[in-house]
Structure 1
Amino acid sequence: MKQIFAIAVVFLLFTGATSAQHFNIGIKGGLNAYSITEKSVFDETLKAGLHVGLIGHAHLSNNFALQPELVYSMQGSKSIDLNYVNVPLLFQYMFDNGFRLQAGPQFGFLVSAEDKNNVDIKNNIESLDIAIAMGISYVNPATNFGVDFRYNHGLTDVSKNNGPKIFNRGFQLGVFYLLNHK
């Protein structure tokens, strides 16, 4: 039921974005530093990974935009590999100098889960991970290239086991290119 609700919300926001004043698409990719922990994201289980995907960018006004994304993301920890298709829906405040502040929900759909011995543990992990994403980005209007730094704070206990609650939490640093950006 949670997945159906999440997909409906994503669909409605994408539909609203396409009717905005100006809509363009782009590509993105970069590095992740994630952990699944009940504690701070800064612990010994921090794992490096990659993310790659598509960006939609809809100007709602001169200073406000909605940026839905569809991103494959390697997450987890040093002992568990979790791979997701994430759908962040970022609300942005755009400054006149190319900088943007952004925040919004992120819906993560589990693709695969393996422990350090390559044993499939997908049945032990929740299939939907909801997070809050927040960060800053910069786009160069002359080249349409940009850089993005983001923190994703998981809200969903991703473990189906009766142990301690664990959450996906991590940082992303990436680059992007917007097509037909104005």
Structure 2
Amino acid sequence: MKKMIFSALALVVFGVSQAQEIKYGAKAGLNISNVSGDIENNKPLIGAHLGAFVEVKLTDKFAFQPELLFSMQGVKIDYSESAVDYSYSYKEDNKINYLNVPLMAKYFATEKLFLEAGPQIGFVLSAKSDIEETETFMGITDSFSGDVDIKDNLKSVDFGLNFGLGYEFTSQFFASARYNVGLTNINNASGSSADLKNGVVQFSFGYKF
């Protein structure tokens, strides 16, 4: 994956030198993230992303687009059980903030519609787990709520691949949808061998200056 990143960077440098047109822009939107692998009772977590990009147009059909994005990702855990005179519920929102660097190749299928794909490297900025736990037995309820810093339980760097498509409403405004497939086992917890990978769906609106 590192070789892919370096190769993509080299292509971007080459692309800039051969560019027909260079545009700068900003984008923001919705994240629907989850974690796959050795995990149970997981549900998507809603977040957001915000950042900037450079579109390097090589031809009428092809462009490179390196980006720098602040991305709110993670996963929800939601578990409950009940029996006679007993109930238990556990909720956990694992919120992980990344600084992501996608390196996207874009193909304009039409003048307005484009397809995109490319590698991504992400750096963990912060991570915490918001926990709510409630247990009721024979009418007596115990509960706990709080947050825990989990940054040390995660790999500091995450590699992935992006696939997406978008539509340019004007020469400045566009919308896009993208899926990020995590390739790195992000688990770094001591004593744990669980294999956990990020997965993020992104819906973005952007503006080119």
TM-score bucket (shorter structure):
0.7 to 0.9
Amino acid at match of 1:97: E
**RMSD (Å) for aligned C-alpha atoms:** 2.2
Q: Which has the higher strand share?
A: 2
Residues 146 and 176 in structure 1, CA contact (< 8 A), matched pair in contact too:
yes
Q: What CA distance in whole angstroms lies between the structure 2 residues aligned with 1:84 and 1:61? A: 32
For the residue of structure 2 that corresponds to 1:118, the secondary structure is strand
* TM-score, structure 2 as length reference: 0.75
> CA 1:13/1:52 → structure 2, altered by over 3 Å: closer, same or farther?
farther
In 2, Cα distance between the equivalents of 1:102 and 1:6? Answer: 16
* 1:86 paired residue number: 100
Q: What are the residue-to-residue correspondences of 1:25-44 with 2, within 5 Å?
A: 25-38=24-37, 44=42
Map of 1:110 onto structure 2: 124
Partner of 2:184: 156
Aligned length: 173
Q: Which piece of structure 1 moves more, 74-83 or 112-121?
A: 112-121
- Alignment-mate amino acid for residue 127 of structure 2: A
Residue 124 of structure 1: how far off its partner (Å) = 1.0
In structure 2, runs of 5+ residues without a counterpart are 77-92, 131-145
Where 2:43 maps in the other structure, the secondary structure is coil
| 1:81–1:115 Cα contact (<8 Å) kept | yes
* Contact 1:64-1:94 within 8 A present in 2 as well: yes
Pairing of 1:18-167 with structure 2 (within 5 A): 18-19=16-17, 20-38=19-37, 44-78=42-76, 79-116=93-130, 117-142=146-171, 144-161=172-189, 162-167=192-197
When normalised by structure 1's length, the TM-score is 0.86
Q: Which one has the largest radius of gyration?
A: 2
CA contact (8 A) 2:4 2:119 kept: no
Determine helix, strand or coil for the equivalent of 1:77. strand
Residue of structure 1 equivalent to 2:205:
175
